[in-house]
Structure 1
Amino acid sequence: MLEITAKADKLVEKYNMLSYGDYVVVGVSGGADSMVLLEYLISKKDEYNLRVTVANVEHGIRGQESVDDTAFVKEYCINRGLDFSSLSINAVEEARQCGMGVEEYSRKRRYEFFESFNPDKIATAHNLSDNVETVLFRMARGTSAKGLCGIPAVRGKIIRPLLSCTGDEIRKACKSASIPYRIDSTNSDVAYSRNHIRHNVIPQLEKLNPLFTDAASRMIASVNEDEDFINICVEEAYSICFNDGRLITDRLKKQHPAILKRVIIKYLNLFDVSVDELHLNGILNCISNYGKYQIAGNGFAICDKNCFRYTLLGDNVGNNEEKQLIVNKCVINHQEFLTNCKFYINQFDIYFDCDKISGNVYARFRKTGDKISPAGRDCTKSLKKLYNELSIDVEKRDSIPVICDDNGVIGVCGYCVDERVKADEETKNILLLKISLED
Structure 2
Amino acid sequence: MLENFTKHITTHFPFLTQKKLLVAVSGGLDSVVLAKICSEATFSFAIAHCNFQLRDAESDQDEVFVATLANELKVLTHIQRFNTEMYANEHKISIQMAARKLRYDWFQELIKEFNYDFILTAHHKDDMLETFLINLSRGTGIEGLTGIPEQNGNIIRPLLAFSRSEIQKFAEAKQLSWREDSSNASTKYVRNKIRHEIVPKLKELHPSFLANFEKTQEHLRESEFIIKDTITKLREKLVKKISEDIYQIKIATIHNLSHPKAYLYELLKVYGFTSWTDVIDLLEGQTGKQIFSKEFRLIKNREYLLLQRQSENEQSTEFLIPNLISSIQKPIQLHIEEVTQITNTSNTVLYLDKEMLKFPLIVRKWQKGDYFYPVGMKGKKKLSKYFKDEKYSLIEKEQQWLLCNENDIVWIIGKRSDNRYKITQPTNTIIKLTLQ
> TM-score, normalised on structure 2?
0.73
CA distance in 1, matches of 2:294, 2:351: 33
The residue type paired with residue 169 of structure 1 is E
Tell me which residue corresponds to 1:73.
Answer: 66
Alignment deviations for residues 108-167 of structure 1 (CA, whole Å, 9 cap, x no partner) = 332233331321121100011011101111111111111111111111121111112111
Query: Are 1:388 and 2:387 counterparts?
Result: no
Residue 28 of structure 1: how far off its partner (Å):
1.0
Query: Are 1:155 and 2:152 counterparts?
Result: yes
Alignment deviations for residues 194-231 of structure 1 (CA, whole Å, 9 cap, x no partner) = 11001111223234333322222222222112212222
Alpha-carbon contact 1:348-1:432 (below 8 Å) kept? no
Query: Are 1:245 and 2:245 counterparts?
Result: yes
Residue 33 of structure 1: how far off its partner (Å):
0.6
Alignment deviations for residues 412-439 of structure 1 (CA, whole Å, 9 cap, x no partner) = 5532368x98979xx657999999xxxx
Q: Which shows bigger deviation, 284-293 or 73-82?
A: 284-293
Question: Counterparts in 2 of 1:219-258, with a 5 A limit?
Answer: 219-240=216-237, 241-243=239-241, 244-250=244-250, 253-254=253-254, 257-258=261-262
CA distance in 2, matches of 1:297, 1:428: 54
Secondary structure at the counterpart of residue 62 of structure 1: coil
Tell me which residue corresponds to 2:266.
Answer: 262
CA distance in 1, matches of 2:130, 2:365: 60
Unaligned runs of 5+ in 2: 324-337, 357-363
- Of 71, 92, 99, the residue aligned with 2:85 is 92
Query: Are 1:109 and 2:102 counterparts?
Result: yes
Secondary structure at the counterpart of residue 16 of structure 2: coil
Task: Mark the CA change 1:260 to 1:80 in structure 2 (over 3 Å): closer, same or farther.
Answer: same
Q: Which shows bigger deviation, 112-121 or 57-66?
A: 112-121
Question: Counterparts in 2 of 1:57-68, with a 5 A limit?
Answer: 57-68=50-61
Tell me which residue corresponds to 2:342.
Answer: 340
- Of 281, 302, 323, the residue aligned with 2:277 is 281
Question: Counterparts in 2 of 1:158-197, with a 5 A limit?
Answer: 158-197=155-194
CA distance in 2, matches of 1:390, 1:247: 13
CA distance in 2, matches of 1:130, 1:364: 53
Residue 9 of structure 1: how far off its partner (Å):
4.2
Q: Cα RMSD between the aligned structures?
A: 4.4
Query: Are 1:212 and 2:205 counterparts?
Result: no
Matched length: 390
CA distance in 1, matches of 2:124, 2:246: 40
Task: Mark the CA change 1:12 to 1:263 in structure 2 (over 3 Å): closer, same or farther.
Answer: farther
Alpha-carbon contact 1:24-1:52 (below 8 Å) kept? yes
Residue 37 of structure 1: how far off its partner (Å):
1.0
Task: Mark the CA change 1:109 to 1:337 in structure 2 (over 3 Å): closer, same or farther.
Answer: closer
Alpha-carbon contact 2:352-2:432 (below 8 Å) kept? yes
RCO comparison, higher one (Cα < 8 Å, 6+): 1
Tell me which residue corresponds to 1:39.
Answer: 36
Alignment deviations for residues 333-373 of structure 1 (CA, whole Å, 9 cap, x no partner) = xxx9994235999884789xx9xxxxxxxx99465898998
Secondary structure at the counterpart of residue 149 of structure 1: coil
Task: Mark the CA change 1:216 to 1:422 in structure 2 (over 3 Å): closer, same or farther.
Answer: same
Secondary structure at the counterpart of residue 307 of structure 2: strand
CA distance in 2, matches of 1:129, 1:281: 33
Alpha-carbon contact 2:248-2:307 (below 8 Å) kept? yes
Query: Are 1:123 and 2:120 counterparts?
Result: yes
Identity %: 23
Residue 34 of structure 1: how far off its partner (Å):
0.7
Unaligned runs of 5+ in 1: 269-273, 318-322, 329-335, 355-362
CA distance in 2, matches of 1:306, 1:182: 54
> TM-score, normalised on structure 1?
0.72
Alpha-carbon contact 1:135-1:149 (below 8 Å) kept? yes
Question: Counterparts in 2 of 1:401-416, with a 5 A limit?
Answer: 412-416=412-416
Alpha-carbon contact 1:5-1:40 (below 8 Å) kept? no
Task: Mark the CA change 1:306 to 1:285 in structure 2 (over 3 Å): closer, same or farther.
Answer: closer
Query: Are 1:145 and 2:136 counterparts?
Result: no
The residue type paired with residue 264 of structure 1 is L
Task: Mark the CA change 1:386 to 1:260 in structure 2 (over 3 Å): closer, same or farther.
Answer: same
